[in-house]
Amino acid sequence: MQRPTDTGSVHVSGRWVAATLLGLISGLILIQCGLLVLVHIFDRPYVFGLVNAFDFGGEGNITALVSTLLMIACACMLAFTGAMTGKGDGRLAWFLLAGVFLFLSVDEATMIHEFASAPTRAVLHASWVPQLAWVLPYGAAMIGLAVVLLPWFLKLDRPSQIRFFAAGALFVAGAIGFELIESVQMRAILAEDPDTVMAELQHPVIDTVILFEESLELIGLGIFLHALVGRIGGLTLRPGHQGAATIHARRAWLIPRTRAFPVRAASPYHGQQQPH
């Protein structure tokens, strides 16, 4: 992040975002790896509360908060890009994705998907249904979303296509792929001991699967957020008159409608004609 002293503006570059996300995500992964070593090798199940605070499979902790904030940041960047995109340039697709990531952030914070498993198993009522059955309706929704957004995706510039695809592949591999692996392991454990409380279980195999699962999700979110910021050349927050401010995108050729987006309703032009 750069702050020019002459204008008082703040520029958030793609490089700064990449460095920040790399440090944040790699730090969380390394902490979780260290805690798993202490839990399963040295038999330290709590470590002064740090296990629960950074548990990749836990709820309402630091890791879940970071994941939720990353999703909110992606939703904001998608909405920002959509607001600055012309109607004929896939504007609705950007807003649709913004809505999806906003929902995912709420889901991550409240664990809505967990409530879908029991109804899904009850409706399908088949032996092949995974223990974590919520992956079926969510997976179907992902496939439907991919089909709807395919024409928009094919019109994107090639660097964005590559980065978006890589981010999506990693996120889906973690959220769906490793979730299915975890489901298989959970079913095997419950078959041996039906009274097992999975939320309180510390099992080396399941904890390792969850480590890969959440790591892939975090890395996918990080790549996507970096791609969104880098795609427009970074963001510049520039103060205006009487406290109003605008956010400027550096690469106007990717967003043909305008370069600036107001942070709040107050206009910095005060009666003057706003430039187009």
Report long-range pairs for 251-254 (Cβ below 8 Å, ≥24 apart).
254/157
* 269 has pLDDT over 50: no
Compute the distance between CA of residue 141 and CA of residue 112 in angstroms, rounded to an integer. 15
| Assigned domain for 4 exists | no
User: Domain limits at 24?
Assistant: 16-233
| Assigned domain for 146 exists | yes
pLDDT of residue 193: 84
| Assigned domain for 261 exists | no
Residues 267/271/275/276 CA torsion (nearest 10 deg): 80
Domains in the chain: how many in total? 1
| Assigned domain for 110 exists | yes
| Assigned domain for 49 exists | yes
Helix and strand numbers, DSSP H then E, in the chain: 9, 4
pLDDT tier at 88 (50, 70, 90 boundaries)?
A: confident
Higher pLDDT, 27 or 202: 27
pLDDT tier at 229 (50, 70, 90 boundaries)?
A: very high
Q: What tens digit of pLDDT does each residue of 98-150 get?
A: 999 999 999 999 989 989 988 998 898 888 888 889 999 999 999 999 999 99
| Assigned domain for 273 exists | no
pTM of the shown model: 0.86
Q: Which two tokens stand for residue 96?
A: 């649709």
> What mean pLDDT comes out for the span 236-258?
57
| Assigned domain for 11 exists | no
